[in-house]
């Protein structure tokens, strides 16, 4: 608790007409109020740096390798899906919206057939809610409500690190955006959307068994 006379002095100064610029600054700054809330609370924020394979909370299929050390995307280790039949999922609660962010790299950015990069699914994995794919040109698109959305006009390149943001909205607009800076603005040639149906979520995957992205890398995988 601040001394009452100090609070009175600050209020008098703040109200003084010539100090217009001063009033542009929130009063709470002078009175010691709480700063604005910063950043999301992550459901997971996996940097792959532990030796656990898979890390706590994750389940592997195929030969997902969370201890990959050859050219990791960040730090000393990344997640490497070394075949198209590998994937890893994290069990999640049903929710009306989720944002998944991750660093991504793929050896073959123009695969012979579209491949799954990430997907929100139901609790058994059998039902897809929204699926992020890379097409044969290296563009990203979302399949939801059993319909393929428009692919980004921007494309990813082989063996190049990108930052990806993949957003789930239940019976709403899902979106994906990617770039090499990690700054997202929900617009541009690297951004696209697709409308989803209502699905009860239970899992989120990197890649997906039997149709995953071949020779793909992930790091700093976050969900909020």
* Cβ 83 to Ca ion shortest distance, Å: 18
Q: Which is nearer to Ca ion, 82 or 145 (CB)?
A: 82
d(CA 54, CA 93): 20
Runs of H (alpha helix) within the chain:
4-15, 20-23, 27-31
Q: Which is nearer to Ca ion, 87 or 194 (CB)?
A: 87
Q: Which is nearer to Ca ion, 121 or 217 (CB)?
A: 217
d(CA 6, CA 69): 57
* Spatial contact of 112 and 211, defined as CB atoms under 8 Å apart: no
Two tokens at 20? 């217009």
Q: Which is nearer to Ca ion, 33 or 182 (CB)?
A: 182
Closest-CA residue to 92 (of 55, 117, 118, 121): 121
Q: Report CA Rg, the chain.
A: 22
Phi-psi group of 171: left, alpha or beta (phi > 0 → left; psi -120 to 50 → alpha; rest → beta): left
* Cβ 58 to Ca ion shortest distance, Å: 11
* Cβ 219 to Ca ion shortest distance, Å: 4
Q: Taking the mean position of all CA atoms in its chain, how far away is CA 106?
A: 17
* Cβ 51 to Ca ion shortest distance, Å: 6
Binding site for Ca ion (CB under 5 A): 47-48, 66-67, 74-75, 77, 219
Two tokens at 192? 């696209």
* Cβ 37 to Ca ion shortest distance, Å: 27
Phi-psi group of 137: left, alpha or beta (phi > 0 → left; psi -120 to 50 → alpha; rest → beta): alpha
* Spatial contact of 136 and 112, defined as CB atoms under 8 Å apart: yes
* Cβ 47 to Ca ion shortest distance, Å: 5
Q: Which is nearer to Ca ion, 66 or 162 (CB)?
A: 66
Q: Which is nearer to Ca ion, 59 or 123 (CB)?
A: 59
Residue nearest to Ca ion (CB): 75
d(CA 183, CA 101): 11
């Amino acid at each position: 608790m601040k001394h009452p006379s100090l609070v009175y002095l600050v209020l008098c100064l703040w109200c003084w007409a010539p100090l217009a610029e001063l009033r542009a600054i929130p009063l709470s700054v002078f009175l010691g109020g709480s700063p604005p809330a910063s950043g999301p609370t992550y459901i997971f924020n996996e940097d792959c740096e532990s030796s656990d394979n898979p890390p706590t909370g994750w389940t592997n299929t195929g030969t997902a390798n969370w201890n990959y050390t050859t050219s990791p995307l960040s730090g000393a280790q990344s997640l490497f899906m070394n075949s198209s039949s590998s994937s890893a999922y994290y069990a999640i609660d049903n929710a009306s919206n989720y944002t998944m962010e991750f660093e991504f790299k793929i050896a073959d950015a123009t695969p012979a057939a579209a491949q799954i990069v990430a997907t929100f699914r139901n609790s058994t994995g059998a039902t897809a809610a929204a699926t992020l794919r890379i097409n044969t040109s290296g563009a990203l698109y979302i399949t939801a409500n059993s319909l393929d959305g428009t692919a980004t006009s921007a494309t990813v390149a082989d063996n190049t690190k990108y930052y990806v943001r993949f957003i789930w909205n239940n019976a709403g607009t899902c979106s994906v955006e990617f770039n090499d800076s990690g700054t997202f603005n929900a617009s541009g040639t690297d951004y696209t959307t697709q409308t989803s149906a209502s699905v009860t979520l239970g899992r989120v995957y990197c890649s997906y068994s039997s149709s995953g992205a071949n020779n793909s890398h992930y790091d700093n995988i976050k969900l909020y």
